[in-house]
RNA sequence: CGGGCCGUAGUAUACCGGUAGUACGUACGAUUCGGGUUCGUAUGGACCGGGUUCGAUUCCCGGCGGCCCGACCA
């Protein structure tokens, strides 16, 4: 895409009402727009990153047997009343409203109830199980206090997968599979090294759950990390009993701040019992379906990547989530030959299927480099009088900054590598 | 929900109970052209309502909005 056509622009100053690094950089770079507290729009660059993250999650969920669908955001109270969760005392973040013709409805905060009820239409026999269903859905949560940029918002997309199994053992098997898939996802988005499976509270559904925590001072959570074993314990459940169960000792742990980027937990039969999701086993006996729930917020993940991987000049996107594969920059100083050469290279990249952001604006080099650093595309190609004189183009990386003059043929190969 | 701070051009910031200034941006002209070039001209602003006052952007009250700490957090 030609940068001159992009409707967004970069800014030198972050808005004063944003303190979180992720929001400051994402707004300065033109990735997101703050609509109101805790509500952000995703602009062209931001949406590209978001979609990349979403796609990585999708691929990994499909790989473990997930079937994608979309449930509704508007929620009828009926199913929620059956499980006792329509009450504000049970879920205090409901956005509720009324229908014109009478009757209440809510904006979905989570989707156990509607999906469980939906599954009763299709699950009858042990032959129908297990099943794994997921979606990317907008969740609405009337948080007391939105904060930390795009990390805790009132409207956000969540990938939520629900597992429906015949037994506790079958559930456990998938639970571990999903935990492994989660680690793959965090690795692919560039957070593998600093993300740890963390033993956590199970809330009102089960004794325990597992969180995935990415180390960052910007995090809301405090965890006790065992670097050697690569596991951690959330402060909430940091008890002698839990430590003994995990076979670790206090002296081996360090207390660190972290961002919760994922959470998986057992639901047992809490929802299947309340909503009548049962199946007939091989002997004809009726059994309750054993459920589990698995969430990741792509937006929060995007914010976390910015928090963890940016530097003083701006964002540094990992290759797999970058809005474009390469940032092509022309430094022409009004020289038409340089413009023609850069145009040609842009076409060449397109022809080779390399998505490029092409800075074809008539700006000076300094401004273009500063913008490129802020936007954070990992690979950069510069075309200028200098590179033309040297018979190639300049290739450099956002992260290490090293540059090299390479030929055109070589550049395509290197980018694809 | 408890506590605190804050609302001034598009953005970031000054000052002031009596003409609201600067930087960036934007427009035009010139200059320059590998790390936000320099100069000139122009553009554009006090969240809303009430009160005090001769006079309020400034002080007081209310509303709305924003941020932070804590609590909460499927």
Which residue intervals of A38-95 are DSSP H helices? 44-63, 77-82
Query: Closest nucleotide to residue A147 (Cα to C1')?
Result: B67
* A381 and A235 inside one domain: no
| Pairing status of strand A326-331 against strand A379-384 | parallel
A218: Cα within 13 Å, side-chain hemisphere: 23
Query: Is strand B less than 7 A from the beta carbon of A14?
Result: yes
* A84 and A192 inside one domain: yes
For strand B, which residues in window 75-114 of chain A come within 7 Å by CB? Answer: 91-93, 109-110, 112
In terms of Cα–Cα distance, which of A167, A188, A159 is closest to A67?
A159
* A253 and A373 inside one domain: no
- Among A251, A275, A309, give the residue marking a domain's end: A309
Query: Closest nucleotide to residue A17 (Cα to C1')?
Result: B67
> Which residue's CA lies closest to nucleotide B12 at its C1' atom?
A13
Query: Closest nucleotide to residue A331 (Cα to C1')?
Result: B34
Query: Is strand B less than 7 A from the beta carbon of A220?
Result: yes
Beta bridge partners of A232: A198, A225
In terms of Cα–Cα distance, which of A165, A158, A155, A106 is closest to A130?
A165
Helix, strand, or coil (residue A365): helix
Would you give the end-to-end CA distance of chain A in angstroms? 21
Query: Is strand B less than 7 A from the beta carbon of A19?
Result: yes
Nucleotides of B under 7 A from a protein CB: 1-2, 11-13, 24-26, 32-37, 65-74
Q: Is residue A201 part of a domain?
A: yes
Query: What is the pLDDT, as a whole number, of residue A175?
Result: 98
* A301 and A331 inside one domain: no
Query: Is strand B less than 7 A from the beta carbon of A236?
Result: no
Q: Is residue A317 part of a domain?
A: no
* A332 and A300 inside one domain: no
Alpha carbon dihedral A194, A197, A203, A204, in 10-degree steps, equals 150
* A282 and A361 inside one domain: no
Query: Is strand B less than 7 A from the beta carbon of A283?
Result: no
Give the torsion sign (CA, A253, A258, A261, A266): positive
Q: Give the number of domains in chain A.
A: 2
Query: Closest nucleotide to residue A203 (Cα to C1')?
Result: B74
Query: What is the pLDDT, as a whole number, of residue A399?
Result: 84
For strand B, which residues in window 176-205 of chain A come within 7 Å by CB? Answer: 202-205
Give me the long-range contacts of A55-63 (CB less than 8 A, separation at least 24): A56/A185, A56/A188, A56/A189, A56/A320, A56/A321, A57/A136, A57/A159, A57/A185, A57/A296, A57/A298, A58/A136, A58/A159, A60/A181, A60/A182, A60/A184, A60/A185, A60/A188, A61/A132, A61/A134, A61/A159, A61/A161, A61/A181, A63/A181
Cα distance between residue A181 and residue A113, in whole Å: 25
> What ipTM does the predicted assembly reach?
0.96
Query: What is the pLDDT, as a whole number, of residue A397?
Result: 94
Q: Is residue A315 part of a domain?
A: no
Query: Is strand B less than 7 A from the beta carbon of A37?
Result: yes
Q: Which string of DSSP letters, residue by residue, matches A101-125? A: TS-EEEE-S--HHHHHHHHTTT--B
Question: Residue A405 belongs to a domain with what CATH number?
Answer: 3.40.50.800
* HEC secondary structure over A208-249: EEEEEEEECCCCCEEEEEECCCCEEEEHHHCCHHHHHHHCCC
Query: What is the pLDDT, as a whole number, of residue A203?
Result: 75
- Phi-psi label, residue A65: left if phi above 0, alpha if psi -120 to 50, beta otherwise: left
Residue A211 sits at φ, ψ, to 5 deg, of -110, 160
Beta bridge partners of A115: none
Q: Is residue A375 part of a domain?
A: yes
- Among A309, A332, A351, give the residue marking a domain's end: A309
Q: Is residue A316 part of a domain?
A: no
Q: Is residue A55 part of a domain?
A: yes
- Among A276, A309, A342, give the residue marking a domain's end: A309
Q: Residue A32 CA to nucleotide B9 C1', Å?
A: 23
Query: Is strand B less than 7 A from the beta carbon of A207?
Result: no
Query: Is strand B less than 7 A from the beta carbon of A366?
Result: yes
Query: Is strand B less than 7 A from the beta carbon of A13?
Result: yes
pTM over 0.90: yes
Structure token pair of residue A154? 């009132």
* A372 and A245 inside one domain: no
Domain span at A369 = 324-416
For strand B, which residues in window 374-393 of chain A come within 7 Å by CB? Answer: 374, 382, 384-387
* A251 and A163 inside one domain: yes
Question: Residue A301 belongs to a domain with what CATH number?
Answer: 3.30.930.10
* A120 and A198 inside one domain: yes
Our CA angle for A58, A167, A232, nearest 5°, is 60
Query: Is strand B less than 7 A from the beta carbon of A404?
Result: no
Q: Is residue A330 part of a domain?
A: yes
Query: Closest nucleotide to residue A110 (Cα to C1')?
Result: B74
* A198 and A111 inside one domain: yes
Helix, strand, or coil (residue A163): strand
Query: Is strand B less than 7 A from the beta carbon of A403?
Result: yes
- The residue to which tokens 């199913």 are assigned: A79
- For chain A (417 residues), the mean pLDDT of every run of 10, in chain order, is 96 94 97 96 98 98 98 97 95 94 95 98 98 98 94 97 98 98 98 97 83 96 95 94 92 95 96 97 98 97 97 96 98 94 97 97 96 97 96 92 89 91
Q: Is residue A319 part of a domain?
A: no
* A105 and A29 inside one domain: yes
* A273 and A139 inside one domain: yes
Query: Is strand B less than 7 A from the beta carbon of A370?
Result: yes
Query: What is the pLDDT, as a whole number, of residue A202?
Result: 84
């Amino acid at each position: 895409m030609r940068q001159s056509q992009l409707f967004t622009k970069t800014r030198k100053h972050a808005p004063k009402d944003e303190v979180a690094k992720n929001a400051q950089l994402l707004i300065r770079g033109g990735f997101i727009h703050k609509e109101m507290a805790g509500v952000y729009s995703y602009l062209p660059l931001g949406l590209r990153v978001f979609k990349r993250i979403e796609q990585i999650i999708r691929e990994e969920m499909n790989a473990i047997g997930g079937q994608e669908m979309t449930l509704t955001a508007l929620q009828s109270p009926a199913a929620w009343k059956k499980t006792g969760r329509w009450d504000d005392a049970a879920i205090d973040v409901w956005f509720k409203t009324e229908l014109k013709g009478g009757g209440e409805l809510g904006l979905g905060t989570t989707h156990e109830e509607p999906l469980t009820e939906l599954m009763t239409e299709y699950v009858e026999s042990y032959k129908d199980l297990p099943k794994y269903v997921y979606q990317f859905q907008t969740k609405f949560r009337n948080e007391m206090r939105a904060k930390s940029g795009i990390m805790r918002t009132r409207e956000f997309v969540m990938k939520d997968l629900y597992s429906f199994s015949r037994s506790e053992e079958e559930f456990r098997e998938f639970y571990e599979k999903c935990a492994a898939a989660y680690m793959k996802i965090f690795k692919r988005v560039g957070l593998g090294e600093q993300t740890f499976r963390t033993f956590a509270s199970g809330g009102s559904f089960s004794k325990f759950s597992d969180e995935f925590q990415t180390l960052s001072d910007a995090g809301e959570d405090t965890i006790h990390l065992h670097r050697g074993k690569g596991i951690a314990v959330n402060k909430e459940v940091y008890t002698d009993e839990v430590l003994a169960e995990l076979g670790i000792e206090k002296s081996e742990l360090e207390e660190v701040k972290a961002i919760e980027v994922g959470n998986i937990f057992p639901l047992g039969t809490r929802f299947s019992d309340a909503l009548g999701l049962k199946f007939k086993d091989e002997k004809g006996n009726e059994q309750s379906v054993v459920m589990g729930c698995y969430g990741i917020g792509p937006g929060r993940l995007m914010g976390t990547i910015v928090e963890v991987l940016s530097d003083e000049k701006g964002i540094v996107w990992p290759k797999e989530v970058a809005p474009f594969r390469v940032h092509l920059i022309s430094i022409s100083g009004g020289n038409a030959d340089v413009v023609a050469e850069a145009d040609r290279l842009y076409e060449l990249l397109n022809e080779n299927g390399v998505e490029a952001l092409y800075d074809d604006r008539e700006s000076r080099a300094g401004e273009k480099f500063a913008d490129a650093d802020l936007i954070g595309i990992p690979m950069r190609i510069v075309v200028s009088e200098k590179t033309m004189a040297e018979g190639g183009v300049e290739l450099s990386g956002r992260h290490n900054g090293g540059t090299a003059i390479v030929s055109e043929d070589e550049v395509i190969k290197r980018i694809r590598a």
